[in-house]
Amino acid sequence: MISKNEDNFTDNVQDERKYYESDEDIQPLKVGDMIQNRFLISQKIGEGSFGSVFKVLDRNNNNAAWAMKVEADDDENSLLEREIKVLIELRKQQGFPQIKFYGQERGYTYCIMTMLGKNLEQIFRKLGGVMNMATVIRLAIQLNR
How high is the pLDDT of residue 55? 95
Assess contact for 135 and 126: CB atoms under 8 A: no
Give, in order, the Cα–Cα distances in Å from 73 to each of 38, 81, 127, 135: 20, 10, 35, 36
On whether both 82 and 131 belong to a single domain, the answer is: no
Q: What one-letter code names the amino acid at 31? A: V
What CATH number should be reported for the domain holding residue 61?
Answer: 3.30.200.20
On whether both 3 and 14 belong to a single domain, the answer is: yes
How high is the pLDDT of residue 143? 67
Comparing 60 with 9, the larger pLDDT belongs to 60
How high is the pLDDT of residue 64? 94
What pTM was estimated for this model as a whole?
0.69
The predicted model gives 10-31 an average pLDDT of 55
Question: Residue 51 pLDDT more than 80?
Answer: yes
Would the annotation count 4 as a binding residue? no
**Tens digit of pLDDT for each residue in 67-85?**
999 998 776 668 898 889 9
Q: Band the pLDDT of 3: cuts 50, 70, 90.
A: very low
**Tens digit of pLDDT for each residue in 99-127?**
988 998 888 899 999 987 777 777 778 88
Q: Which residues are CB-contacts of 29 (< 8 A; sequence separation ≥ 6)?
A: 41, 52, 54, 70, 106, 108
On whether both 53 and 81 belong to a single domain, the answer is: yes
Distance, in Å, from the CA atom of 110 to the CA atom of 84, rounded to the nearest integer, reads: 9
**Tens digit of pLDDT for each residue in 124-143?**
788 888 888 888 888 787 76
> Mean pLDDT of all residues in the chain?
79
How high is the pLDDT of residue 66? 95
Question: What domain range is 129 assigned to?
Answer: 117-145
How high is the pLDDT of residue 25? 62
Q: How many domains is the chain partitioned into structurally?
A: 2
